[in-house]
Amino acid sequence: MDHAREDFDDLAWDRNDEAREQSMKDLRRISTCRALESFVGQKFDKHATLVSPINVGGYNILYRLSLEGMYPDVMIRLPFPNMTQFPDEKTLREAATVKFLYHNTQLPIPRQFDYGLSSQNPDIGPFTILQHVENQGTLSDRLTTPNDDPDETHVLDPNIPESTLQHLCNDCRNKYVARRLFHNLAKQGRLSTYGFKDDDWSFHSKTQPSTISPAPPNSGSFRLWADDLRPGNILLNASDEIVALIDWEFTYAGPTQFILDPPWWLLLDVPEMWSSGIDDWAEVYSRRLETWLSAMKKAEESMGPASMPFVLSTYMRESWETGRFWLNYAARKSWAFDTIFWKYLDKRFFGDREDVPKHDLWKTRIHLLSEDEQRAMDPFVERRWRSQRRGS
């Protein structure tokens, strides 16, 4: 099946699963829950009681607590052990983002009561205490199709054949060439003009219509960007009204032009994990995009022409049609980069290529690298190949 996500390092995946299971046991212990009740109670100088099952997300674990004489309840949110790199930095960054948004925007951000780092709370670790917002689930829950398929398990094959390892040498060459080419285009300042009227370098620019929009003013600047803002992080009440936006840990200063792309989450699932493959995702997405753009146009018309410096729905349509959507998605999602580069970007950047097997794609573009870059490829592949052998 043509998923776009790169293959897992199964040995690391199995070890990670084992560590996660152990952490889960530790975090659900009665002694842990009682320690958190005591900790939160001291923070508010009130008696605290755990009132709901523990909620575990991909990177965090949440405990809901009731405080005597206080409404609403609070949530204490801890980075999930063994799943989060640099938990102190993650907590500090998200806390700063939430504080900024709460005080400077009208977004429905849950109140943040307190946060702390490991050095301040060695028994608890980094934490955030937030207001609990009553809700009836997420926007994603409203839109999703139930799926009871069990999670895939990943078991290392100790008898992995040499031919498979050699195939992983060629995949590595594909990765090397794709990333070198992408890096070079970024250094040359070309990626920021791709898909706009200003694009005068790509193969695609020779065929795009003259009516395509130029890059908006200041689109090269950087602004606050929430990479994880999606239906699953939008809480609704019983009337399907938005009551809270949550999970700001993947927020950073990103290129303003990201906002010119249509949202990836129109199908809820990411293209690299779509069950029928990434091509089918793109086909279904293109149909759903028409619904989104139609709604965007109605909203823009109701606001009046003077309310926005440019027509966002036009830029979103052009982003999809030119492939600028895939450029920005690949730049943000490293695990999907390789498939997206070779499938949706390479020909648009550099033109037609020889028809070769997937593992030989690097051969069609190696000549675009400098001599130094070409010489550096084999030592890189050798290091990667040896690490695969040790892992097996």
Q: Is 248 exposed, middle or buried (0-12, 13-18, 19+ CB in 10 A)?
A: buried
- HSE of 33, CA atoms in CB hemisphere, 13 A: 16
Q: Which residue would you say has higher pLDDT here, 243 or 17?
A: 243
How confident is the model at residue 133, as a pLDDT? 93
Per the listing, tokens 């050798």 go with: 382
User: What is the rounded CA–CA span in Å between residue 324 and residue 32?
Assistant: 48
Q: Which residue would you say has higher pLDDT here, 373 or 26?
A: 373
> How many Cβ atoms from other residues are within 10 Å of residue 289's Cβ?
20
How confident is the model at residue 246, as a pLDDT? 92
| Same-domain pairing of 109 and 228 | no
> How many Cβ atoms from other residues are within 10 Å of residue 313's Cβ?
19
Domain with 33, as residue range(s), is 10-132
Asked, for residue 356, whether it belongs to a domain, the answer is yes
How confident is the model at residue 351, as a pLDDT? 96
**Mean local confidence (pLDDT), 62-85:** 89
Amino acid letter, residue 22: Q
The 3-state secondary structure of 149-195 reads CCCCCCCCCCCCCHHHHHHHHHHHHHHHHHHHHHHHHHHCCCCCCCC
Of 262, 324, 268, 328, which Cα lies nearest the Cα of 289? 262
User: What is the rounded CA–CA span in Å between residue 392 and residue 80?
Assistant: 28
| Same-domain pairing of 111 and 219 | no
**Is pLDDT of 154 > 50?**
no
Amino acid letter, residue 391: G
From residue 154, give the alpha-carbon distance in Å to each of 118, 140, 167, 170: 32, 27, 19, 22
**Predicted confidence band at 211 (pLDDT cuts at 50, 70, 90)?**
confident
**Is pLDDT of 342 > 90?**
yes
**Mean local confidence (pLDDT), 207-236:** 87
Asked, for residue 148, whether it belongs to a domain, the answer is no
**Is pLDDT of 156 > 50?**
no
Amino acid letter, residue 169: C
User: What is the rounded CA–CA span in Å between residue 197 and residue 210?
Assistant: 7
Weakest mean pLDDT among 64-73, 116-125, 134-143, 228-237: 134-143
Q: What is the residue-averaged pLDDT of the chain?
A: 85
**Total number of domains constituting the chain:** 2
How confident is the model at residue 32, as a pLDDT? 87
| Same-domain pairing of 201 and 341 | yes
**Mean local confidence (pLDDT), 41-49:** 95
Asked, for residue 155, whether it belongs to a domain, the answer is no
Residue 129 in contact with residue 112, Cβ under 8 Å? yes
**Mean local confidence (pLDDT), 203-222:** 86
**Predicted confidence band at 267 (pLDDT cuts at 50, 70, 90)?**
very high
**Mean local confidence (pLDDT), 238-242:** 91
* CB under 8 A, 24+ apart: contacts of 299-304: none
- Would you state the torsion angle of the CA atoms of residues 33, 35, 36, 40, taken in this order, to the nearest 10 degrees? 140
What is the secondary structure of 69-92 as a DSSP string?
Answer: T-SS-EEEEEEPTTT-SSHHHHHH
| Same-domain pairing of 386 and 248 | yes
User: What is the rounded CA–CA span in Å between residue 210 and residue 113?
Assistant: 53
Residue 51 in contact with residue 73, Cβ under 8 Å? yes
Q: Which residue would you say has higher pLDDT here, 123 or 264?
A: 264
**Is pLDDT of 2 > 90?**
no
How confident is the model at residue 159, as a pLDDT? 47
Asked, for residue 369, whether it belongs to a domain, the answer is yes
Report which DSSP code applies to 213: P
Weakest mean pLDDT among 16-25, 128-137, 144-153, 262-271: 144-153
| Same-domain pairing of 296 and 348 | yes
Task: Give the end of a domain, one of 114, 132, 150.
Answer: 132
User: What is the rounded CA–CA span in Å between residue 166 and residue 385?
Assistant: 8
Asked, for residue 153, whether it belongs to a domain, the answer is no
Asked, for residue 138, whether it belongs to a domain, the answer is no
**Predicted confidence band at 286 (pLDDT cuts at 50, 70, 90)?**
very high
The whole model's pTM is what? Answer: 0.78
**Mean local confidence (pLDDT), 301-310:** 78
| Same-domain pairing of 103 and 180 | no
| Same-domain pairing of 227 and 373 | yes
